[in-house]
Amino acid sequence: MKSGRQFLTAGVTALAPAIWGSTYLVTTEWLPPDRPLLAATVRALPAGLILLAFARTLPTGIWLWRALVLGTLNIGAFNFLLFVAAYHLPGGTAAMITAVQPMFVLVLAALLIGDRIRYTHVTACVLGAGGVVLLVFKGTTALDFVGVAAALAGAATMATGITLTKLWGRPDGVGLLPFTGWQLIAGGLVLLPFTLSIEGLPTTISGTNIIGFGYLVSLGAVISYAIWFRGIERLPALAVSFLALGSPIVATLLGYLFLHQTLSILQLVGILVITSATLLAQPRQSERRNLPCTMNTGIRP
């Protein structure tokens, strides 16, 4: 029964990265061009204000700075880097480079939380990296340096955010929606001054732009982040990080369906490899019975 609930939780949590995978298509087709800061800010800040209006709960004490740190890592910095990567790379490529973050989580969770590194975890990371290569590598595609750097930095930022969210948990008596809203607002406020000073506000907004921003605020932030933080609470950090690999898979498939991007046999194999790695990284019953009591970074079978 517990295994079934764990599988259901993982399946629901995977919906968030699937929604984020569509962000690349929305960015390139529906948003104003060359405005990654604006896109990230509009995605986060209105969504946080909406959640806070319903929850009406503010952070206090230690959670004033913790909410700022988590909001910066999970929302502000990560979204900015994500949009920079989306503007400089094909959607599938940007998402797959960002998806190396399970490797960062593997180490951070061992150092900060005490999660044990097992051979299956290492194998899953190797398989995931192999899937990345199969999906990303194209002999005729030139990778933009700025896009690659942004995607890798986004991976490190996301990994740190997942690990600290798991480490700190959620304050007692605070619901999931206000906890999500705090981080969205914090991330949006961190981005706002940079957006205004570097990009400024657009002089014209089309109906298509409004639809795109509405999609990012509703599905891309309010719903998806609530699902995501719920998953972090209930699943091991590494298991959650591998679920994020659903984002590049969705981005690649949408690029093929709507942007006429190619989808080769090797890419299909890469999708299968990534799926296998994600399943392998999910906790088994034996692992749940033997949770570590003290920090241990040794590799276990």
Dist. CA 134–CA 269, nearest whole Å: 7
Which residue, among 231, 187, 208, has the nearest Cα to 46 in the 3D structure?
187
Residue whose tokens read 């969705």: 250
pLDDT given for residue 151 in this prediction: 86
The continuous run of DSSP H or E covering 299 comes out as strand 299-300
pLDDT digits (tens, 9 = 90+) for 8-46: 899 999 999 899 889 878 988 999 988 888 989 999 999
Dist. CA 92–CA 254, nearest whole Å: 9
Dist. CA 175–CA 56, nearest whole Å: 11
pLDDT given for residue 247 in this prediction: 81
pLDDT digits (tens, 9 = 90+) for 85-133: 877 877 557 766 777 889 999 999 999 999 988 999 999 988 987 887 7
Residue-range definition of the domain harbouring residue 178 = 2-300
> Is the confidence at residue 300, as pLDDT, over 50?
no
Q: Where are the alpha helices (DSSP H) in 109-220?
A: 119-136, 145-168, 176-194, 207-217
pLDDT digits (tens, 9 = 90+) for 54-94: 988 999 999 999 999 999 999 999 878 877 887 787 755 77
Report residue 211 as tokens: 């639809």
pLDDT given for residue 260 in this prediction: 83
pLDDT digits (tens, 9 = 90+) for 185-227: 999 999 999 899 989 988 899 999 999 999 999 999 999 999 9
pLDDT given for residue 137 in this prediction: 66
- C-beta contacts of 138-144 below 8 A and 24+ residues apart: 138/262, 141/90, 141/93, 143/89, 143/93, 144/88, 144/89
pLDDT given for residue 289 in this prediction: 45
pLDDT given for residue 128 in this prediction: 86
pLDDT digits (tens, 9 = 90+) for 120-140: 999 998 898 788 778 766 655
Bridge partner list, 300: 118
Query: What domain count does the chain have?
Result: 1
Which residue, among 103, 100, 101, 136, has the nearest Cα to 117 in the 3D structure?
103
Mean pLDDT (the chain) is: 86
Which residue, among 16, 4, 155, 23, has the nearest Cα to 83 in the 3D structure?
23
Percent of the chain with pLDDT strictly greater than 70: 89
pTM for this model (two decimals): 0.85
pLDDT given for residue 3 in this prediction: 64
